[in-house]
Structure 1
Amino acid sequence: MSYRELRNFCEMSRTLGYPRLLSIENFRTPNFKLVAEILEWVVKRFEPNASLSASQTTTEQDRVLFIKQAVLLLLQNSRLKLNPKKLYQADGHAVQELLPAMKLLYSAARTGNEEDVQSQWNSVKSRLGTKMQEARIARQISTQLPNTAASLHELLGKQILFAKQRERAISRSIPLSEAEKAVQQSILAIVAETESITTKLNNVSTDEAALDEKIERKKREYEQMQKRYAKLQQYVLKFRNLSYMQQLQVEIEKAEHVRQATNHEGCLE
C-alpha cells in the first residue's frame, strides 16, 4: 500500500463526510475496530438498510462473520469483489481493498454536484430563451400595428354606408309565412343535430365501458408480470449468493490445504 493511496483514501473519506478524521498513521499497524467502522460506513452508503454493526466484533468468529457479510453486501450492491483476508488484516492492505469502493462513492458524489450545476444552467438558458421569444413576438406585433390601425380607420370610414344598409334591412317587412318557414327549418335542424349528438354520446358510453374492461384486463396482466418479475429477481439474487458462497468456500478450503501442507513440511523438517 503506497503513501499516495493512503493519502487519497483519507482525503476522499473526509470529502464524503466520514464522521472521523483519518490520517495515514491510523493504518501503520493493524486496527480492526477502525477498519470495521469504515467498512460498515462504506456498506451503508451503498445499502442504508443493511444490518451490519462494527460494534459486534469482539470475538474472532464475530469478526470473520462481519467481514463475510460486508463483502457479500458490497458484491450485491456495487458489484465490487473484495478480498476478505486482506480486510481481516486491518492495515494498509485493508485500505487497498476498500479504495475502489471509496473511489466509486467519490465519483458518484462529484457527478451529482456537476449535474446540479448543469440543471441550474439549463434552467437559466430556458428562462432566457422564453424571454427572447417574448421579445421577438412583441417586435413582430409592433410591426403589424400600423397595418392594423390603417385597416381599422378604413372600416370606420365605411360605417356610414353600413348604417344605411342596416336601416334599409330593418325597414323592410318580412312576410309571416316566410318567417314561420325559416323558424321551422331552424327547429328541424336543431332537432336533427340533437339526435346526432345523443347517438354519439351513447356510443361514447359503450366505448368507455369497453375501454375500462380492457384497462382492467391489462392491469391484471401487469400485476401478474410484476409478481413473476419479483420471483425471478429473488431467484437471481439467491443464485448469485450461492455461487459466491461456494466460490468463497473453495478459496478457504484451498487456503486451509496450503496451510496444512506448510505445517506438515515444517514438522518433517
Structure 2
Amino acid sequence: MSFKDLRNLTEMMRALGYPRLISLENFRQPNFPLVAEMLLWLVKRFEPSADLPTELDSEQDRVILIRTVVQFMASKAHIKLNPKKLYQSDGYAVKELIKVAAVLYSAMKTNTLSEGEDEQGGSVLPTFDIGSKLSELKQTRKLGTKITMKGATLYDLLGREVDLREKRQAVLSKNLEIQDVEAGLKLSVKGVEEDIKKLQHNIENVASNEANLEAKIEKKKVELDRNQKRLLTLKKVRPAFMDEYEKLEVDLRKCYEEYMMRFRCLAFLEQQIEEFERAEQERMEERQSATRKIMEKMKQDETLRSMEEPERLQSELDDLDDTDDDDDDDEDEEEKGAPQPVAPATANAKRPGKSAKNRPSGPAANRRIYGSMTGGVDDDSLDSDSDMLLDDDSAESEELEVNEMAAESLRNRKSAKVKMSATTVQENNSDDDF
C-alpha cells in the first residue's frame, strides 16, 4: 500500500458521495467491515437492483460475499478483482477498491464535463480518426470470426459431453498396465521418427526444388515477353476489313436511330388508337343508353296512345257519320224545293241513303207510272202494263252500282280522315323523340 493510492481512494469515494469519512489510518490494520461496506455501496452504484448477502458473522458468509462481488464485477463491469487481497482487508485491498472506484469516478467526470458544455451552449463532438482504427478493425474482425468458430466448436463439444463423460470416466477408472503404456509410447515414437525423416528429406530437396521453380519462372517470363510482343504487333497491324467494319458500324448506328424513332412513333400511335377506341366505346355506350331510354319512352307513349286511340277514332267516326247525315238531309231539302222533275237514277246517286229507304222495294219500284189530267179511263190504260214492263235486271244493276259508288265514296272519306289523324300522331311522336 502506498500513501498515494490511499489518498486517491479517499478522494474518489468523497467525490462519489460515499456517506462515511475514510481516513488514512483505516487500512493500517485489517478492517473487513469497512471493506465489505464499501464493496456493497460500489456494487449498488453499478446495479441498484443487485441482491448481495449482508451477513458477515461467520467466515463462510464473508467468503460468499467476496465471491459474489468478484463475480458480479467481472460479469457486469468487466473488472477483474483479486478476492484474496479483498479478503485481507488491508492496504492490498485498497488497490482492488481503486479499480472499481476509478470507473465510477471517470464516468462522473465525463458527465459533469458534458453538462458544463451544454450549459455553455455548445456541444463539441469528439474528434474521431478512422484511419488510426483500421488495423484495430481488422483485428476485431479476425477475433470475431475466431470467437464464432470457438463458440460453434464449444457448442458441439458440450452436446457430446454426455457420451464423452462416460468414456472419460471409464478410461480414468481403468487400471493402466505398463505393457500398454510402453506399446503406446513406442507407436508415438515411431510416428515422430517418420515425421522427422520426411522433414529432413524435404530440407535436403529444397535446393533442387528451388532450381526447378526458378527454371519454371524463367520459362513463364519468356512466354510472357513473347506474348506481349505479339500483342503489340497485332495492335499495330490494321485488318483489311476494318474500313468496311467502320462503315457498317456507322450505317448500323443510323439504322438504330431510325428504328428507335419509328418505334417511339408507333408506340405513340398505338396509345392514341387505344385512347380513341376507349372514347368511341364510351360514346357508343352513352348512345345506346340514350336510345334505350328513348325506346322505353316511346313504348310508354305508344301504350298510352293505344289506350287513347280507339276512343278518339270512335269519336271521329261518329263525327263523320253525323256530318254525312247532315249533308244528305241538306240535299233532300234542295231536291224537294226544285221545280223541275228529277230522274230516278240521279236522285238515287245524290242521296243513296234516303232514296233507298223511302223508295218501295220489289217489282213495283222498277215500274214507271204515267197518268193524265183527265180522270176518265182511256183505252191506252190497257196498254200501260206494256209500258210498265221494264227490264228488272237493268234497274237492279243500276241501283247496285249507285249504292256501291256511294259506299265507296264514304269509305274513301273515312280512310282519308284516319290517315290525316295518323300522320298528326306520327308528327307528334317525332317531335317528342327529338
Structure-2-length-normalised TM-score: 0.28
Considering fraction of residues, name the structure with more helix. Answer: 1
Higher Cα radius of gyration: 2
TM-score, normalised relative to structure 1 = 0.45
Q: Which has the higher contact order (CA 8 A, sep 6+)?
A: 1
